[in-house]
Structure 1
């Protein structure tokens, strides 16, 4: 490929890294205009930090408050270099501030075909998260409040009382609508806990 001059490459890479909490992949560096030799040079010079296989960081960009989630998102990337994991379940509930419970591990939903072994601080759930069920944060995707409540209701990993509080809070804050919850419940046979929570509030 034709490599850009240093200034162009720097700007392109900085733009990519800024959207990912300072991180970038080897493929993204190549797309920005850096050869493998250029990347190695900048690592040795301290301009880039090597943080994992094919994963680097610009130290000039401050660490994001959700740095651990950004790293896990990039860890999950597939052969196309795109992240496959979506932050979900208890972790998404915490991000949306719908629970006082702090999960001991990070919960991610990945495709059923995902084969990587997760780090010890991570719990994988397998399933499909469509574009309507996710939102993009800086460097990672997270399930929407409605999808999060659905996932939590199905896994039964928090009590019905805690689920009820989360549903009530989500409704009060306008994060979900009653009709949206009713529509989801009507189309599924395994969401009785979510239906019970809604009835209790009404």
Structure 2
């Protein structure tokens, strides 16, 4: 019994940094055989979220966040995905973006697919990534520039830029530099948003 408690404590420590989520590989490393994992899922101790991804039952009774589900996608990707584009705007609580799909940026060689996510393939510089609890997300400047490059509605862009400047999250210069890094479409969209803010 003591051994089981030690194993559970070990897995709980991992899961607590991931809002209660964990992978089958993490459970195996903590000491749970695949047979034991099946048992805990069958008993309802663990909630099976997706293939190879679980969540401790207790987390269903704890207050959650509207970004909890993004941890699941970070685990799905093997921690290679970064939340980006309009999904990143919602994480940063910028503007009126309300995406129906989850946008993730992954390295060019990433092969997994899922109909619930939109994948963007590029190598992100470390300076454009922030760590949140259990997942990574593009910075506010990068998220805005990504949205501009993707030609999101100008209203979404305008509202995100307005709030980012108002809250002091970034300067006009920093925002323009981020847009220039992503090309002409991004630069044009951000300039329009900045001009709208100035009027």
The answer to whether TM tops 0.5 is yes
Provide the C-alpha distance between the structure 1 equivalents of 2:107 and 2:169, rounded to a whole number of angstroms.
26
Give the stretch that moved more between structures: 108-117 or 43-52: 43-52
Normalization by structure 2: what TM-score? 0.83
Please list every run of 5 or more consecutive structure 2 residues that lacks an aligned counterpart in the other structure: none
Judging changes above 3 Å, is the alpha-carbon distance between structure 1 residues 108 and 189 closer, same or farther for their aligned structure 2 residues? closer
Deviations 1:48-73 (A, max 9, x none): 23332222221012363333322222
Please list every run of 5 or more consecutive structure 1 residues that lacks an aligned counterpart in the other structure: 78-82
Query: Where does residue 170 of structure 2 map in the other structure?
Result: 176
Contact between 1:48 and 1:59, CA under 8 Å: does it hold in 2?
yes
Deviation of residue 185 (structure 1)? 4.5
Correspondent of 2:135 among 137, 140, 152:
140
Provide the C-alpha distance between the structure 2 equivalents of 1:97 and 1:24, rounded to a whole number of angstroms.
26
Provide the C-alpha distance between the structure 2 equivalents of 1:109 and 1:187, rounded to a whole number of angstroms.
16
Judging changes above 3 Å, is the alpha-carbon distance between structure 1 residues 14 and 165 closer, same or farther for their aligned structure 2 residues? same
Normalization by structure 1: what TM-score? 0.82
User: SS in structure 2 opposite 1:114?
Assistant: coil
Query: Where does residue 80 of structure 1 map in the other structure?
Result: none
Query: Where does residue 70 of structure 1 map in the other structure?
Result: 71
Alignment root-mean-square deviation, CA: 2.3
Query: Where does residue 144 of structure 2 map in the other structure?
Result: 149
Aligned length: 192
Whose helix proportion is higher, 1 or 2?
Answer: 2
Correspondent of 1:130 among 125, 150, 173:
125
